[in-house]
Amino acid sequence: MSETTRLLKPEELTPATELTRQVLEQLDRSLLGRAELHRLVLIGLLSRGHILLEGLPGLGKTALVQTIGNVMKLQFSRVQFTPDLMPGDVLGTHILQETDTGKREMIFEPGPVFTNILLADEINRASPKTQSAMLETMQEHSVTLRGQTRPLPDPFFVLASQNPIEMEGTYPLPEAQLDRFLFRVMFDAVDASVLQNIITGRRRGNVPAPEWQLDADDLNYLFSVMEHIFLPKPVASYIARLVSATHPDNAEAPEPVARYVQYGASPRAAIAMAEAARAHALVDGRPTVGFEDVRAIARPVLNHRLILNYQARFDRVDAHGVLDQLLEALDDTGLHLPEDVSLQPTR
């Protein structure tokens, strides 16, 4: 049995799970009422994926990213995307400088992308030119300028935010760039009790400093544990069937997919889903991935990867509605029991 297929022992997994628990605890303490969202973002980071945060202004998108940077003791940069922002403003640029010997040469001045966590605030306000400059950084974790490729710091995450309203003067992200985000996470409004806690506990909305920080070694340890979270074949098969079923011409595609989806998810989605399911199992303290892990991360992984047709727009159906029905219709075990036959646990 090779090292990669070795199952983690409890004593190896438990410290990692404990670390994730502490990170979540810090996040939950800093930002109130967002436990599930924190969990998703942590899963995204453990999967080394980029996350697109979508929500109305004032819901705490930027605060969340800042808090993550603080908790993880990682370098953090923020770029406010505007229509006149140029690629050089993000990636960096070459400046003609005079050296000590009196010669003049082009010196590379790194942009804000050379960091661990990049907050691309309101990314859809930048021009397509600037948006596409992010493609290489997100996929290859490197920047190529004047024929020279420079690697970005490891780890590198892009946490982008966009506002679903005020669409005038914006440039919606192209599908190719959307596909590079592991998750698209929706920020919903918090309920009244959480609001009351925020008002009473946070003067001027200041986020308290974390009491504990995850250092680089811990993060690397978490990444190494992630490598050993085992994905059983039936679960891999379920992920593959699930992604395939998002295509309208697939035999297992349920009726809503066939009716409303124009293009389904890419193989990159299946890879992302497997990785995110592993992270979910790690956070849950399990050395193996189960069906429930896949179900938990399926919506944020797939919701921005389904391209719906005009019929869906006419019928006011969104990707979440289609995904709900897809997850409901697809049998995870592949057993395909008839309707009048069911399994019941032994008492």
Partner 1 sequence: MMFRRTALRWMGVWLMGLGVLALVVRLTASLPPYWWAYGLGSLVILLGAAWQRELKRRPSAEQLRATFDKENKAGGLVMADAEVNTEAWAERQNNLRLPNLRWRGGRAYGGLMLALIFLAVTLLVPTRFAKLLAEPPLEIGQTIEQAREQVNILEEENILSEQEAEVKRSELERLKEDATGFNPAKTWEALDHLKLSNQNLAEQAAQEALEKMAALTEAELLGNAVDKMPADAAPDSEEKALKELGALLNDLLDNEALENLAPEIQKALQQAGQKNLPMDPEQLAPLLKALRENKDALQKLAQKLAQNNLIPPGLAEQLKGAGELPGGQALKDLLAKGGFQQEELREFLEQMGQGQGGLERGPGAGPTQYGQPTDEAGAAFKEEKLSPSVSLNQARLAGVTSSAPEVTGGEAVLGRDALQNTQAGGGSALTAPVLPRHRGTVNRFFQRGED
Residue closer to partner 1 by CB (options 324, 331) is 331
CB of 293 to partner 1, least distance (A): 8
User: Which residue in 58, 128, 151, 232 binds partner 1 (CB under 8 A)?
Assistant: 232
Contact between 205 and partner 1 per CB under 8 A? no
Residue closer to partner 1 by CB (options 122, 332) is 332
Residues 271 and 47: their CA atoms lie apart, in Å, by 10
Contact between 31 and partner 1 per CB under 8 A? no
Q: Write down the residue that tokens 């907050």 correspond to.
A: 119
In this structure, what are the phi and psi dihedrals at residue 94, rounded to the nearest 5 degrees? -95, 130
Written as six digits, the tokens of 141 are 């974790």
Residues 226, 232, 233, 239: what is their CA dihedral angle, to the nearest 10 degrees?
-60
Contact between 279 and partner 1 per CB under 8 A? no
User: Which residue in 102, 147, 169, 338 binds partner 1 (CB under 8 A)?
Assistant: 338
Residue closer to partner 1 by CB (options 165, 335) is 335
Residue 120 β-bridge partners: 79, 160
Maximum distance among all alpha carbons in the chain? 86
User: Which residue in 33, 248, 254, 287 binds partner 1 (CB under 8 A)?
Assistant: 287
In this structure, what are the phi and psi dihedrals at residue 279, rounded to the nearest 5 degrees? -65, -40
How would you class 313 by CB atoms within 10 Å of its CB: exposed for 0-12, middle for 13-18, buried for 19 or more?
A: exposed
Residue closer to partner 1 by CB (options 272, 289) is 289
Contact between 89 and partner 1 per CB under 8 A? no
Helix (H) / strand (E) element for 24: namely: helix 10-30
CB of 12 to partner 1, least distance (A): 9
Residue 78 β-bridge partners: 119
Contact between 283 and partner 1 per CB under 8 A? no
In the complex, the residues that contact partner 1 under the rule CB under 8 A are: 1, 5-7, 9-10, 230-235, 281, 284, 286-293, 332-335, 338, 340-346
